[in-house]
């Protein structure tokens, strides 16, 4: 367990540095000058130059990186657009995205895993084909289209849930259902595949030959061994939703981090974009570490026999 944590932490620093450098390069490749956007249409050349000097935009790219790094460590990073502390802008948005991701994964877990197990134990039967249809819907339906359908049904026709914004717990239900259903398609597929693989192993066949009840085999012996790939895919999907829930946030007007990053790219707000993507990257690495630890807890043989 300690080796896994140490190995991940050792790799953590170069990964974050590499991501930060890559972000800086990519964002400066986007056409447009943030100083011109900030100065306005009627700004003079002197106004634009003053803004460039104020935010260090006239410095070489390598100097801008070290300025960004220094300001990040000291906590003095300022948004180009709003001129407020970047962390004050990002972390409330990040908490909103984290909340959306958590409830989406929660729905995908309690909806997708049981259906995947049910399909596996009834492999080739009608119920397996029906659940496979649900899986294909989950991976095929665009999240924005599903979101609009849910809004029409629950907000317009039934008028029982808010259509958008963040006004309380009820406002997160529709975006969580929308994003969670899309994720559940992958969870169903992985749960079904993993369970079928385990159910076909020799020790499970031996238990069947000895007359052990199917329910006991599935939930006591097979499920524990099948959970590894399922947990891995849930962890990956959780990480993806932290930065990939932009469409859901746009459709439902959810004030999340992905939406903030997209808006900041439009205004060339470099510090907000850089810190926003760094926060997502750090979260993704942390989630992967947590998944690896959880895998070892469920199956201790991984720590001694496999490299994570």
Does residue 43 belong to any structural domain of this protein? Answer: no
Query: With a threshold of 0.85, does the pTM exceed it?
Result: no
CA distance 4 to 271: 33
CA distance 290 to 286: 6
Does residue 163 belong to any structural domain of this protein? Answer: yes
**Alpha helices in 75-211, H assignment, sequence order:** 86-121, 126-140, 143-150, 173-199, 202-209
Query: Is the CB of residue 100 less than 8 Å from the CB of residue 148?
Result: no
Does residue 219 belong to any structural domain of this protein? Answer: yes
Does residue 213 belong to any structural domain of this protein? Answer: yes
CA distance 43 to 47: 6
Q: For every one of its 308 residues, what pLDDT tens digit does the chain have, with 9 covering 90 and above?
A: 677 677 777 777 888 888 888 888 888 887 777 787 777 777 777 888 888 888 888 888 888 888 888 888 888 888 888 888 898 999 999 999 999 999 999 999 999 999 999 999 998 899 999 998 988 888 888 888 999 999 999 999 998 989 888 888 889 999 999 999 999 999 999 999 999 998 888 888 888 788 888 888 888 888 888 888 898 899 888 988 887 788 888 889 899 998 898 888 888 888 898 899 888 888 888 888 888 777 777 766 655 554 44
Residue 219's domain comprises 92-305
Does residue 74 belong to any structural domain of this protein? Answer: no
Query: Is the CB of residue 85 less than 8 Å from the CB of residue 275?
Result: no
Number of domains in the chain: 1
Task: Break the chain down into helix, strand, coil percent, rounded to 5.
Answer: 80, 0, 20
Does residue 260 belong to any structural domain of this protein? Answer: yes
Does residue 230 belong to any structural domain of this protein? Answer: yes
CATH number, position 135:
1.10.3720.10
Does residue 264 belong to any structural domain of this protein? Answer: yes
């Amino acid at each position: 367990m300690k080796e896994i944590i140490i190995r991940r932490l050792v790799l953590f620093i170069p990964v974050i540095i590499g991501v930060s450098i890559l972000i800086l390069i990519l964002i400066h490749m986007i056409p447009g000058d943030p100083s011109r956007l900030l100065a306005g249409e009627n700004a003079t050349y002197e106004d634009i130059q003053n803004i460039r000097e104020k935010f260090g935009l006239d410095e070489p790219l390598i100097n801008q990186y070290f300025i960004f790094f220094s300001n990040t460590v000291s906590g003095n990073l300022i948004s180009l657009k709003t001129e407020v502390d970047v962390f004050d802008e990002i972390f409330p948005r990040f908490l909103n995205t984290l909340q959306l991701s958590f409830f989406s994964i929660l729905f995908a877990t309690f909806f997708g895993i049981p259906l995947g197990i049910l399909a596996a134990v009834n492999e080739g039967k009608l119920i397996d084909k029906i659940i496979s249809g649900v899986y294909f819907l989950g991976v095929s339906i665009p999240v924005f289209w599903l979101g609009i359908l849910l809004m029409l049904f629950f907000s317009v026709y039934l008028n029982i849930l808010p259509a958008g914004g963040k006004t309380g717990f009820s406002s997160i239900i529709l975006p969580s259902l929308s994003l969670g259903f899309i994720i559940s398609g992958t969870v169903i597929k992985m749960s079904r595949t993993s369970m079928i693989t385990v159910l076909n192993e020799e020790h499970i066949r031996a238990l069947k030959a000895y007359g052990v009840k199917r329910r006991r085999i599935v939930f006591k012996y097979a499920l524990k061994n099948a959970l590894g790939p399922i947990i891995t895919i849930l962890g990956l999907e959780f990480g993806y939703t932290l930065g990939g829930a932009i469409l859901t946030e746009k459709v439902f007007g959810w004030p999340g981090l992905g939406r903030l990053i997209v808006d900041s790219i439009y205004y060339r707000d470099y510090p907000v974009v850089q810190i926003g993507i760094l926060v997502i990257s750090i979260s993704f690495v942390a989630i992967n570490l947590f998944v690896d630890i959880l895998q070892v807890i469920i199956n201790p043989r991984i720590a001694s026999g496999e490299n994570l």
